[in-house]
Chains A and B, each alone.
Chain A
Amino acid sequence: MIMAVSPSLICNAAGERLELEPTGAWTTAHSEALEALVTGVAERVAAARKLAINMAGVRELDTLGAWLLEKLIRSCDDRGIEAQFQALPDRYRGLLDEVRRVNRGVAEKPRSQTKLIVWLEMVGRAAIDLKADFITFLEMLAALSFAIARVVMRPQTFRLTSAVHHLYRVGWQAIPIMFLITFLIGSIIAQQGIFHFRKFGADAYVVDMVGILVLREIGVLIVSIMVAGRSGSAYTAELGSMKMREEIDALRTMGFDPVEVLILPRVLALVIALPILAFLGSMAALYGGGLVAWLYGGMSPEIFMARLQESVSITHFQVGIIKSPFMALVIGIVACSEGLRVKGSAESLGLQTTNSVVKAIFLVIVLDGAFAIFFASIGM
């Protein structure tokens, strides 16, 4: 390997003629020095009436060095001044010719915008995206309804194996984590209730609070959020990677409807699994509440059960369970349509999976609010 010699640039002015003599290694390794050298002579080059660059002393040359020299020549060409290389070794000729060819066009500069315009553009795009999301949701709902109608008319086309498989995954396998989380939430609510209610001697009403809160809201809400994070993201990632590898296109060309084959069994599995999980979750939360009331609040299990029976009616339980299939439907539709939106790259897969979870959780909470208004107005 040739020892790299630090570069230099000698200026010889003879009248109006300027002769530059670059020496040493004009390579990327010395980029900093080279940029400084070339900037240093720019003024004198600008004043010269004639420019010659003597290449005899250049030991090494790469694209960077060639481009810096070419820029000097080009600055003279622009002013109509004669400029050329002298004593040019053959081995550099090809590279200099190549560099002469490039960077002629003007690269389109990204338009510079004020912050306000950027912000407004962002808001506008978000609004359009929101509309697109809404339409995608409705489209998926419609496609799903058609698929259900077709399956009802020809039951033999239903993918039972697939549906059972997904039911196993999103239902059975999810039970331990749902138990744990809802048990903890129930315990925490009871503990907080006892701690604060005790101040004004109302700790007996903790049972009412735990019972109603868990059965009406917390049980189904916590479980839905967990399912959106656990199973919704899995659906998006699965369908997304199938989309990436063109599996969905393959299905379509073979005459299968991806909604019928892939999405219906998944959504159906969720719709069946979520009420079961919500029920089990609510029971675990009540158990946790009862345990805390006993160990921390000193309320015997018999009293807890008796008070629970008094305070909780079947209506509260119904309110919670009626909501759950709708939550499942929303989670399933969002997860599947986000999955189908994945484009070619792995990055887009990650993005859509995140989107899927965020949107599903958001919609679950909005839906819960809507249900609260609905049930209140019908007096449940």
Chain B
Amino acid sequence: MASPETDIVIRVRDLVVGFGSQVVLDHLSLDVQRGEILGLVGASGGGKSVLLRTIIGLIPKRAGNIEVMGLDRDTADPEETRAVERRWGILFQQGALFSSLTVRQNIQFPMREGHHLSQGLMDELANAKLEMVGLTLSDGNKFPSELSGGMVKRAALARALALDPEIMFLDEPTSGLDPILAGDFDTLIRTLQKTLGFTVFMVTHDLHSLHAVCDRIAALADGKIVAIGPIAELLASDHPWVKSYFQGKRARVITRATN
């Protein structure tokens, strides 16, 4: 029913973003397909988070086009923009949970906006999301300051999932977690992505995540996407930065282990 053309949920064309005299993203183009998990890698300070934040509209762009689910912010009216914003979920690097609300209230926060759900049903749904991300029901009564790092990530994921988004933006989902927790989190994202069928756009540095969960990987260097494709293609890439990233000492250990 859907043509290949509409199966692209995020379309970025010739995007230019800069701060002052510094150009961070220089005529960058990128497509994200429906239902895939795309990992974005790049040097620290190389503009990965800038790209993510520009796509979700937090940073203004200088030139280029961004279409998310067929919507171009430049031409859309605020009502349409809000409608699209309700169909994506964002996991911020530090979780960005509202500190004055409990975890359960955090999850219910997006549900209250624009929907008329009974409190009972909202509680049941929030509990369902809590369990989906592997938290217990009593964790729902806690405040963000009472959670450990891993639990914050899970709670933030539950909030991002609150409205069953079609696209999930994850900003370094496994940073700050120990390898076991990070591995669990990778599996969790993969499982949820399969059951709920959303598209994932993930900024990450975690080579394990890249191997374990990503369908495709995009490498960002010099403000452009220099390589994109499944991990095997990136391993074979001869771009110098991609080469040093995937064939450096740390990467080789992981590649060996996963093969």
Contacts and interface: CB of A to CB of B under 8 A. Distances in A.
Nearest to B69: A1
Interface residues of B, number: 34
A64 B125 contact: yes
A102 B127 contact: yes
A103 interface: yes
Contacts of B138: 107-108
Interface stretch (A153-161, A186-194, A250-258, A342-350): A342-350
B43 interface: no
B100 A63 contact: no
A351 to B, nearest CB: 11
A2 B129 CA distance: 25
Contacts, number: 80
A95 B195 contact: yes
A67 B145 contact: no
Contacts of B6: 1
Contacts of A348: 145
A94 B196 CA distance: 8
Given A31-B117, A347-B145, A94 B127 contact: no
Interface string A346-370: 1110000000000000000000000
B123 A107 contact: yes
B115 interface: yes
B132 interface: yes
Interface string A101-133: 111011110100000000000000000000000
Interface string B124-151: 1101110110001110110011000000
A167 B158 CA distance: 50
A346 B118 contact: no
Given A28-B111, A67-B124, A103-B124, A98 B132 contact: yes
B137 A108 contact: yes
B121 interface: yes
Contacts of A2: 1
A107 B127 contact: yes
A23 B8 CA distance: 27
Interface string A17-34: 000000000011101100
B74 to A, nearest CB: 19
Interface in B145-198: 145, 161, 163-164, 194-197
A55 interface: no
B141 A103 contact: no
B255 interface: no
Contacts of A94: 194-195
A35 B124 CA distance: 13
7 contacts: A31-B117, A67-B124, A97-B195, A102-B127, A103-B128, A110-B141, A345-B144
Interface of B: 1, 6, 69-70, 99-100, 111, 115-118, 121, 123-125, 127-129, 131-132, 136-138, 140-141, 144-145, 161, 163-164, 194-197
Interface of A: 1-2, 27-29, 31-32, 35, 62-64, 67-68, 71, 91, 94-95, 97-99, 101-103, 105-108, 110, 343-348
Given A94-B195, A103-B131, A107-B137, 20 more contacts: A27-B164, A28-B164, A29-B115, A31-B117, A31-B121, A64-B121, A67-B125, A67-B128, A101-B131, A102-B128, A103-B124, A107-B127, A107-B140, A108-B138, A108-B141, A345-B144, A346-B99, A347-B100, A347-B145, A348-B145
